[in-house]
Structure 1
Amino acid sequence: MKDLTKTQEFQAFQYDLADKSWQDKVASFQLTTSEIVTPNPKVSVIIANFNNAPYLNKMMDSLTAQTLGMANIQVMFIDDKSTDNSIAIIKPYLTKNPNIELYQLDENTGGAHGPRNVGLLNARGEYLVILDADDWYDDKALKYLSDLLDESGDDFAVSGLVQSVDGHLSLKSKPYYVDGDFKNRSIQELPTEFYGWLGPQSIMLRRSLVVKHNLHFVDQRVADDVTFFYEAMRFAKIITQGKELTTYLNRDADNTSLSQAINRNFMMSWLRALSYINETFPDDTSKERFLSRRIEWLIHDFCLKRNIGYKFSKARLQDFKAQLDLYLGNIKFDPSPYFRNDFRKTAWLYLKNNDISGLYRFIYLFSVRWVLNRKLNMKTVSNQVYYYPQLLPLLTKTRLEAYAVAESLIEGTLKLKVFSYKKLVGFEIFDLAQPFESRKELTYRKLSETDFEVNLPKGYENNKSRFVVIFEGYFEIGVQRFASVM
């Protein structure tokens, strides 16, 4: 694709929403179904699978247990020519349950986009969801999401998303979990952090929106889902937001192998997708925030990270800069004010000034500074602002996002110092066994710009609970020396 113009690239990878030829190119398949199949289900569930056998029982059990009822759900299990025993695991579900459809593709398509497009063309539900084969739902998920859309009349709904890594749970949906429930919310009002995650999990669409606008997954392994759902948001214009936790994102896979998948093809796919969105949709707040978050993410991966599938070198930085200019050189705004921290903002400045040698030196030295801070708690302080350790006088200063240290605990009142350039929102505690439902805001008193007193509840146990400081942008940190003062 090297000699193609961007417009030709968009056509080759099937980005063009006016072109329906993608429908003629979907994979052929063999279909096996349950004995009972509902012609007009409430929700269609599209599941793309390739060699996910260890996770399939948990995923399927979460579907058959849905309170919406299997009579209202079209389960579309679309297998991309798996070489493991996926099919053998799925077939018993067809005999025990209604409305399960097994699509066995005749040829491997090389990515989730192929099976998902098969699903889009064969879905019959009023609403549809995309579920990865290794993820799973809370048993109330599909009823909760469909009820939200029934009540709001919107075409797009999001809900709480939990990431699971070897049983450790964390939120991937802080903006809507923290902000709460909304109906008919303009996408122009969504915070930048909302776009930190826009994968298929925990999103439900009205199928008529997908059909009307010829929405489909582009012909590439990377960025196809985020492109699809951002396009859906653009056409929906308003969305429904529910904070209830509905979906569990499985991240038990080897993180090293995931990092190695972040290679040059990954980079090019993302830049192509962002370029298409930039050139297709009008300049407005939603596009600016979306592109900013994604550009920041690419800078993190292809400038700052060392352990990915595209070896760190000055040549990699030069290549990233060249491709960034080619695909996104015409953006009409500065994305860096939306970036999460100084490190990424500084990297952007080096890129903007085309100072690749300076960027290379900055990244190399910062990796040392990061280790010194995280492992040895070293830092530099100036005018009550904390920085990563300043190794050389001429090195660009990089602020710590926040730093907090406990001083004393007397009769349930914790005294601590908090330093940050971010706006402080407050203090919270939560039960480690239930990190989301148990969150509780604490009362506090501000003594000075950096000094605070916080009232801990009676019976607080540090080995069972967690104390955190909350800042703007859905950012939170723990407190140094907290355990020792307890």
Structure 2
Amino acid sequence: MITALDEEFEAYQYSLESSVWQESLPTFQFYASENVSSTPKVSVIIANFNNESYLNNMMDSLVQQTIGLEQLQIMFIDDKSTDDSLEIIRPYVEHYQSIEVYALDQNTGGAHGPRNVGILNARGDYLVFLDADDWYDLDALRYLSQLLDASGDDFAVSGLVQSRNGEISLKSKPYFYDGDFKNRSIQDLPAEFYGWLGPQAIMLRRSLVIDNNLHFVNQRVADDVTFFYEAMRFAKTITQGKELTTYLNRDADNVSLSKSINRQFMISWLRALSYINLTFPDDVSKERFLSRRIEWLIHDFCLKRDTGYKFSKNRLKDFKAQLDIYLGSLTFDPSPYFRNDFRKTAWQYLTKNDILGLYRFILLFSVRWVLNRKLGLKTRKGNLYYYPQLLPTLTETRLDAYAEAVSYADGKLKLNVFSYKKMVGFEIYDVKRPYDSRMQLSHQKDSENEYQITLPDDYDNNKKRFVVVFEDYSEMGVQGFRKVFIK
């Protein structure tokens, strides 16, 4: 029996048994460097639409790769840009080898179209998908390909940082903290691993993609996460390397980013998760993946106030109704994987279909959040801190963690840490190099909440950051640290 969901999956080209996705792609104009390899090691698939401001930085990072241009197939696939993207790329084609341009004759409306053109025309042993506004470390492609050469796996992940207006922050925390692995079962991956599963810092064996008819579904959002999760399912094991390879661009003026989290965005994500849920067997990997993504949707469509889908009771009702349509067949409770009490409580209201209670909870929590963040108000019960209660009938909400400095003398920092999460250590890192400059610090536990940490003699609080790290890869600063350190 064909259901309404089946019809949606067919309309958006989800099926791995069909070739419709290939037949619907537009034609393109092609030109290339004078010298291109017929047997490159790595094919770099670049989807571009109106990214002229970022193309020089991206292309410079490719033509200088230590693996050598003769090992690459650089595929610049333009989705009929209206800016000067193609003119910016043309000098690279003229001066460097191994660059191919695919100028699509029609705009496909998303990165899925150019990426699928790339899949069909790639020749490399390995594939990477690079957004046109991101860029690579110069050793990235050599490093990633050698990881797969050594492991025999079909899927590799590596170090990823986010750049926002020049400020760099760590993005791939599970890769970094877990360290180097090969032949790691996807069933062993922590839930936080699935907090990010975009194209950045991932390399695939091309035969994995071709043999399983993997492709990007025909929708603007959630196409990449669906693709890479499917790739993981067929790969079964992955290789991970903690070295930094990729820079994710999140500049505030980046027009290629979707700034509109709207109702269609919500439906697209729920459709993608529904397909994964109905296609793959119930196991730990699927449970963790779906849980992290459901939590993200709760954050965007229940809790956030400043999205393209205006916050209201009707939005909450709609989200609950669509959640039931697309994910009503869940066989597990995702909330134990959620990051904080706020999201867990929202899920409890949703499961009870108490939309009025959820609406009231969100409004009052907004006040509690401001009172805590702006005025420092909180309540301590035992060894945990809570947001201000406001009303006795309101659900209690724990602070994820709270750390406060007590004193600093002779290189020893004393502080208190309160959290329901397991604390795993203390680190310092360079503000400008938050990835490769991290240093774990030795510490002594004096009581359940009291710690002593030895800081390096040359610690500079203007250039470094001191953080507490928890088991779920989250980290936080310490209240009053600057005050006691300066003293």
Q: Distance in 1 between matches of 2:187 and 2:440?
A: 29
Match of 2:84 in 1: 85
2:156 is matched with which residue?
157
| Rounded Cα–Cα distance in structure 2 between residues aligned with 1:176 and 1:418 | 25
Counting only pairs closer than 5 Å after superposition, residues 383-394 of structure 1 correspond to structure 2 as: 383-394=382-393
Q: Secondary structure at the match of 1:473?
A: coil
State how far apart, in whole Å, the 2-side matches of 1:75 and 1:47 are.
8
Aligned to 2:367: 368
Q: Does 1:319 align with 2:332?
A: no
Aligned twin of 1:131: 130
* Correspondence for 2:26: 27
Answer whether contact 2:79 2:106 (CA < 8 A) is retained.
yes
Amino acid at match of 1:219: N
Tell me which moved more, 362-371 or 264-273: 362-371
The one-letter code sitting in structure 2 at the alignment partner of 1:150 is: D
Alignment correspondent of 2:242: 243
Residues 389-443 of structure 1 deviation map (CA, whole Å, 9 limit, x = unaligned): 1111111111000001011112111111110001110111112232222211111
How has the CA–CA distance of structure 1 residues 24 and 126 changed in structure 2, closer, same or farther, with 3 Å as cutoff? same
**Residue in structure 1 matched with residue 55 of structure 2 by the alignment:** 56
Cα distance in 1 between the residues matched to 2:346 and 2:186: 29
The residue correspondences of 1:286-301 to structure 2 (distance < 5 A) are 286-301=285-300
Distance 1:52 1:4 in 2: 40
Q: Does 1:282 align with 2:284?
A: no
Q: Deviations over 1:449-479 (max 9, x none)?
A: 1111111111222112111111110011100
Number of equivalent positions: 484
Distance 2:235 2:63 in 1: 30
Distance in 2 separating the partners of 1:122 and 1:260: 31
What is the letter of the counterpart of residue 338 of structure 2? F
Deviating 4+ runs (over 6 angstroms): none
Provide the C-alpha distance between the structure 1 equivalents of 2:256 and 2:49, rounded to a whole number of angstroms: 16
Match of 1:473 in 2: 472
Aligned-pair CA distance for 1:257 = 9.7
Q: Deviations over 1:230-286 (max 9, x none)?
A: 000000000000000000000003489967411000000000000000000000000
Distance in 2 of aligned mates of 1:383 and 1:155: 49
State the partner residue of 1:329: 328
Contact 1:259–1:308 (CA under 8 A) maintained in structure 2: no
In structure 2, the residue matched to 1:448 is 447
- Mapping 1:65-214, distance limit 5 Å: 65-214=64-213
The alpha-carbon distance between structure 1 residues 259 and 419, as it changes in their structure 2 partners (threshold 3 A), is farther
Rounded to whole Å, the distance in 2 between the matches of 1:477 and 1:48 is 36
Structure 2 residues not aligned, in runs of 5+: none
| Separation in 1, partners of 2:3, 2:359 | 30
Shift of 1:180: 0.4
Structure 1 residue 79: deviation in Å? Answer: 0.5
Distance 2:411 2:100 in 1: 58
* 1:310 corresponding residue in structure 2: 309
Report which stretch shifted further, 86-95 or 249-258.
249-258
Structure 1 residue runs without a partner (length 5+): none
Partner SS, residue 298 of structure 1: helix
Q: Counterpart of 1:60 in structure 2: which amino acid? A: M
Q: Distance in 2 between matches of 1:22 and 1:256?
A: 27
CA distance 1:237–1:438, change in 2 (3 Å) = same
Question: Which one is further off, 452-461 or 94-103?
Answer: 452-461
Go from structure 1 to structure 2 and tell me whether the alpha carbon gap of 1:424 and 1:222 turns closer, same or farther (over 3 Å shift).
same
2:270 is the counterpart of 1:265: no
Counterpart residue number, 1:381:
380
Separation in 2, partners of 1:152, 1:465: 36
1:252 aligns with 2:251: yes
Deviations 1:130-153 (A, max 9, x none): 000000000000000000000111
> TM-score by structure 1 length?
0.98
Please tell me the residue identity of whatever aligns with 1:455.
Answer: T
Aligned to 2:224: 225
Of 23-32 and 457-466, more deviation after overlay is shown by 457-466
Distance 2:432 2:257 in 1: 28
Matched letter for residue 354 of structure 1: N
| CA–CA separation in structure 2 for the residues paired with 1:175 and 1:459 | 29
Q: SS in structure 2 opposite 1:104? A: strand
Go from structure 1 to structure 2 and tell me whether the alpha carbon gap of 1:262 and 1:256 turns closer, same or farther (over 3 Å shift).
farther
Moved more, 19-28 or 241-250: 19-28
| Contact residue 406 and residue 485 of structure 1 kept, 8 A | yes
C-alpha distance in 1, partners of 2:393/2:73? 62
Change (3 A) 1:461 1:63: same
TM-score (ref. length: structure 2) = 0.98
Deviations 1:153-178, CA, capped at 9 Å, x for gaps: 11000000110001111111100111
Relative to structure 2, which stretch is displaced further, 470-479 or 435-444? 435-444
Match for 2:251: what amino acid?
D
| Alignment partners' CA distance in 1, 2:144 and 2:282 | 30
User: For residues 257 and 299 of structure 1, do their structure 2 counterparts lie closer, same or farther at Cα, with a shift above 3 Å needed?
Assistant: farther
CA distance in structure 2 between the aligned counterparts of 1:24 and 1:43, rounded to whole angstroms: 25
Three-state SS of the structure 1 residue aligned to 2:285 is helix
Write the distance in 2 (CA, Å) between the matches of 1:421 and 1:318: 32
Partners of 1:328 and 1:124 lie apart in 2 by 38
Which string of whole-angstrom CA distances, capped at 9 and with x for unpartnered residues, describes residues 165-208 of structure 1? 01111111100111000010000000000000000000000000
Q: C-alpha root-mean-square deviation of aligned residues, in Å?
A: 1.3
Deviations 1:68-88 (A, max 9, x none): 111110010011110100010
Deviates more, 1:294-303 or 1:18-27: 18-27
Query: 1:408 is matched by which residue type in structure 2?
Result: S
Per the alignment, in what secondary structure is the counterpart of residue 110 of structure 1? coil
Tell me the SS of whatever aligns to 1:262.
Answer: coil
Identity of aligned residues (%): 71
Aligned to 1:409: 408
2:170–2:434: 8 Å Cα contact kept in structure 1?
no
Q: How far apart are the structure 2 equivalents of 1:29 and 1:438?
A: 45
Q: Which moved more, 1:263-272 or 1:383-392?
A: 383-392
